[in-house]
Amino acid sequence: MGRFVVRRLIQMLLVMFAVSVITFLIFNVIPNSDPAVRMAGRQASESTIEAIRKEWGFDKSLPVQYVTTMQKVFTGDLESQFTQLPVGEEIRKGLPRTLSLAIGAALLWMFVAICFGLYSAVKAGRFADRFLTILALVGISMPVFWIGALMNHYLGFKLGWFPNGGYVELTEDPLDWAYHLILPWTALAILFIGFYSRVLRSNVLDTINEDFVRTARAKGLGERQIMVRHVLRNSMIPIVTLWGLDFGAVVGGGAILTETVFDLQGVGQYAAESIGQLDVPPVLATTMFLAFFVVLMNAIVDILYAYLDPRIRLL
C-alpha cells in the first residue's frame, strides 16, 4: 500500500509539471502576439508594456520565461492589472468559500444519491422507482444557473425564507454559514443527485445478482446486512471514483455558475470576473490553481479506490 501511494504521488507531480507547461504555453506562446501587450491590458502605455516585458522575461528564451512565470505564480507575487490587488490574497480569500460550497454540496449529493439509488434499486420497476427515475431525469436536465436563479428569486427574495445570496464565515457563525449555503448546496447538488442515483441504482441491481450476495444470504445474514456490507460496498466503488473526480471538477471550475448566481465570491467567481476583464495574471493563477486541484483529487481518488477495492493494490 505504501509503495502504491508513493508511486501515485510521484505520478501526480509529473502530471502537475505537464499541466504547468501546457498552461504556460496556452497563455504565453500559442496566442500569436506579444504576451506583454496582452498582459498589460487595454490602453496600457508603451512604458508599462516595456516594464511587464522585463519583469516577466518575455524578451528572453522560452525556458527562462517558463521559470519566471512559475516563480511568479507560486510565490503569489502577482497582481491584477485591473484592480492592482494581489492575486494570491484574492485566491486565499475565495478558497474557503469555494470549498465550503463544494464540500457541502458533495456530501449532500452523495448522501441523497445513496438513499435514492438504493431505494430505487430495492423497489426496481415499482412506482417509487419510476417516480425517482423521472425526478432524476428532471434534476439532470435543469441547468444550475436556472434552478439557482429560481431558488434565489422565490425562496430567497419573494418568500424570504433564505438569505438572498452572500456568505458568512464559518468561524464567525457556523449556523449562519450553513443557512447562507443551503440554497447554493442544493442548487449545485441537484444535477449530481440525479446522475449518481441512476448510476448507483444500476450498480446495485447488477451487484444484487452476484454469486457472493447469494452466499451472504445462504450464510443467514439479515437483509440490511446484505445490502450494506455486501451489495452497497461493492456498488460504491465506481461511485466513489466519480465522486472524487466530480468534486475536483466542481472546485476546479464547475462551481463558477453557482458561485456567481449566489454571489459567494469564491475562487470560481473571481476567475469568471477576471476573464470578463481580460485580466491575465489572475486568470493564469486561478487556472493553474484549479488544474492542480483536479490533479490532486485524481490522486486522492486513486488511493481511496485502492483502499476500497483491494484488488487494485497489485497493479
Partner 1 sequence: MSDTQPLLSVEDLHVSFATEEGVVKAVDGVSFDLRAGEVLAVVGESGSGKSVTAMTLMGLTRSPNARFEGTARFKGTELIGASEDDLRQLRGAEIAMIFQDPMTSLNPVQRIGAQIVEQIQTHGGLPDAQARERAVELLEKVGIPRARERVDSYPFEFSGGMRQRVMIALALSCDPSVLIADEPTTALDVTIQAQILERIRRLREETNAAVILVTHDLGVVADIADRIAVMYAGRIVEQGTLDEIFYDPQHPYTWGLLGSITRVDRPRPERLPAIAGLPPSLADRPEGCHFRPRCPHEFAKCSEVPPLEVRATDMPRHADRCWLSAEQKRALREVRPGEIGLHGKEGVSV
Which residues contribute to the site for partner 1 (CB under 8 A)?
210-212, 214-223, 225, 229-230, 233-234, 237, 308-311
Nearer to partner 1, 71 or 225 (CB): 225
Q: Amino acid identity, residue 271? A: A
C-alpha cell at 85: 490587488
The DSSP annotation for 56-124 comes to HTTTS-HHHHHHHHHHHHHHT--B-TTT--BHHHHHHHHHHHHHHHHHHHHHHHHHHHHHHHHHHHHTT
CB 277 within 8 A of CB 1: no
Reading the block at residue 220, the C-alpha cell is 443467514
- Residue 190 has φ and ψ, to the nearest 5°, of -55, -50
Max Cα-Cα span within the chain: 82
Of the two residues 234 and 274, which places its CB atom closer to partner 1 in the complex? 234
How far apart are alpha carbons 35 and 22 in whole angstroms?
15
Minimum gap (Å) between residue 7 Cβ and partner 1? 20
For 274, how many CA atoms within 13 A lie in the half-sphere containing its CB? 28
CB of 62 to partner 1, least distance (A): 48
Residue 257 beta carbon to partner 1: minimum distance, rounded to whole angstroms: 37
Of 54 and 229, nearer to partner 1 (C-beta) is 229
Q: Which is nearer to partner 1, 42 or 224 (CB)?
A: 224
| C-alpha grid cell, residue 63 | 525556458
Cell numbers at 68, concatenated: 519566471
To partner 1, the closest distance from the beta carbon of 234 in angstroms equals 6
**Helix (H/G/I), strand (E/B), else coil: 279:** coil
- Shortest distance (Å) from residue 225 CB to partner 1: 8
Write down the least CB distance from residue 229 to partner 1, Å.
7
Pair 98, 289: CB distance under 8 Å = no
Query: Least distance from C-beta 297 to partner 1, angstroms?
Result: 22
Give the residue with the Cβ less far from partner 1, 7 or 217: 217
CB 165 within 8 A of CB 158: no
Of residues 67 and 228, the one with the C-beta less far from partner 1: 228
Nearer to partner 1, 232 or 261 (CB): 232
